[in-house]
Amino acid sequence: MSLLDGLSKAIAGGAIEIVDLTAPLSSSTPILQLPEPFANTIPFRLEEISRYDERGPRWYWNDIHTGEHTGTHLDVPVHWVSGKDGHDVSQVPLKTLVAPAVVLDFSARAAEDPDFLLSIDDVRAWTAEHGPLPDGGWLLYRTGWDARSGDQEDFLNADEAGSHTPGVAPGCARWLAEETPITGLGVETVGTDAGQAPGLEPMFPCHELLLGAGKHGLTQLRNLASLPPTGVLLLVSPLPIVGGSGSPARVLALVER
């Protein structure tokens, strides 16, 4: 039996489970809100073309109106000025889109402090217990924030001081970008950076440093609680938008049970 036959049979028989990590995309999907004077993306919207009527008697279809960075989506290097000479979303290496992943669970820390920032020591403590970060793979950072994703106000968790959501400390972002073999960082929050990232140095360190290093980001993931710390194969399916800085994506995980 070939490797692909074995994989197919394992999925069909339940030995390998497919876990959907994608948030449903609708007009209620939370979107990032940048402070003035910065411009913001539009909410997702369907515009009906026809639905079994005089506009098209046998078919139903829609135009979609959305930003590249809406819902569960992929960030690529050209999304940020530090990666402006890098690849766009149509040029992402296929080995980045099908790659191993590990899950670092810091949901208890984020529950205590919504401004919690992942540190180098946190990641090193995890690797001491579970093994190294995957070469060419993904670090998926679980904070439990997906439980808030049904409500924009709760998800963004903002007050007069800005948004309060967990993220990655600047030093850790630099270390992940420059000294680890991962291809990208995946999070459950609205963006890869913390809510207080505009006040960090550098501003938005995950965007600045990871994308500047030619790496990638995945945001608004769900169901990371269903995954083991290691042994995950991640499948990421963005639209191959020529010149695009990112794309909404369906993100699936294969897990051996």
Catalytic residue, candidates 65, 69, 73, 79? 79
119 to 109, 169, 241: CA distances (angstroms): 12, 6, 34
Six-digit token string for 134:
């995957």
Greatest CA separation found in the chain? 64
Find residue 68's DSSP bridge partners. Answer: none
Cα distances from 129 to residues 45, 177, 252, 256, in angstroms, run 44, 22, 25, 20
SS3 content of the chain, % helix, strand, coil (to 5): 30, 30, 40
Cβ count near 151 (within 10 Å)? 10
Say whether 79 is catalytic. yes
Kindly list the catalytic residues: 79
